[in-house]
Amino acid sequence: MGADDPDTLEPTACPTAGDIPMLGLGTWENTDADQCAESIRTALETGYRHIDTAQAYDNEAAVGDGIAAADVDREEVFLATKVWLSNLAPDDVLETTRESLDRLGVDAVDLLYVHWPAKTYDTEETLAAFSDLYDEGLIENVGVSNFLPEQLEAAVEVCDAPIVANQVELHPLLPQPELREACEVHDVEVVAYSPLARGGVFDHPTIQEIAAKHDVSEAQVSLAWLRENDVVAIPKATGVDHIRDNWASLSLELDPEDVAAIEAIDDRERTVDPDFGPWNQ
């Protein structure tokens, strides 16, 4: 059987990038409260230790319920959320982050992101508020999301608290080498959202060929490639089979020729492209 067969799944310790588990569970669009809580519980009891949510996802309470329901100590879970772009004025950062903590049912989150550098975002003022939350012990780490290299550099320069991660869309069809290099220069981990290109990797012939070669899913190939490049991945999954299949990617070791074939893909597809995205300004 292939490594993606749930019946063959063996517990696997998840590697980390710094303090961040390299495979997490994304929760975007997981807005059915019961389903969301159950997917969180399933993921944690499967072995995941990294859960990602956001104010804009409207599911922080359900995420908190899932963490509470799982047979896993809260201290073992790396929990991240994000401040929405309308809440990035300093007072709003402080107020809405406390509201997020209340919804999540936790005293602190392990990572708090600036969701987008847009609308009410101001490099100095917004990040000063994040530093205040860090100093108060309400957040363990500061992160940014959807930041271009120049925005990341400015943020690192002004933020009193260390910025540990930049969460961006990243997958074999959008590898973003320049951004990854900028993050490495600033000692910032790269966290990939939409790591399966919202299903796009399932239809790509190169990914399909490598998946067939190893008798695994295309999802596992994409996630293993990200791990090979020291990129944290947070694929969204709600059903047990997909949660377990993604987890099984930790057992997949790509051959050098597999990695080279993926690196040679020249198709490009950005699946998250709002008007306020910094690359559209």
Distance, first Cα to last Cα, the chain:
49
What are the backbone angles phi and psi of residue 115, rounded to the nearest 5°? Answer: -65, -45
Angle, CA 126 vertex, CA 180 and CA 122 arms, to 5°: 80
Residue with tokens 């949660």: 243
User: Residue 11 is encoded by which pair of tokens?
Assistant: 């517990």
Q: How many CB atoms lie within 10 A of CB 10?
A: 9
User: Residue 175 is encoded by which pair of tokens?
Assistant: 């590898």
Exactly one of 48, 57, 113, 134 is catalytic; name it: 57
DSSP letters of 255-271? Answer: -HHHHHHHHT------S
Judge whether 57 counts as a catalytic residue.
yes
Contacts made by residues 6-14, CB under 8 angstroms, sequence distance 24+: 6/240, 6/241, 6/244, 6/245, 6/248, 9/46, 9/244, 9/247, 9/248, 10/251, 11/47, 12/47, 12/247, 12/248, 12/250, 12/251, 13/47, 14/47, 14/48, 14/49, 14/50, 14/250
Single-letter residue type at 242: H
Give dist(CA 95, CA 184) in Å, integer: 32
- The burial class, CB within 10 Å (0-12 / 13-18 / 19+), for 177 is exposed
Q: Where in the sequence numbering do the catalytic residues fall?
A: 57
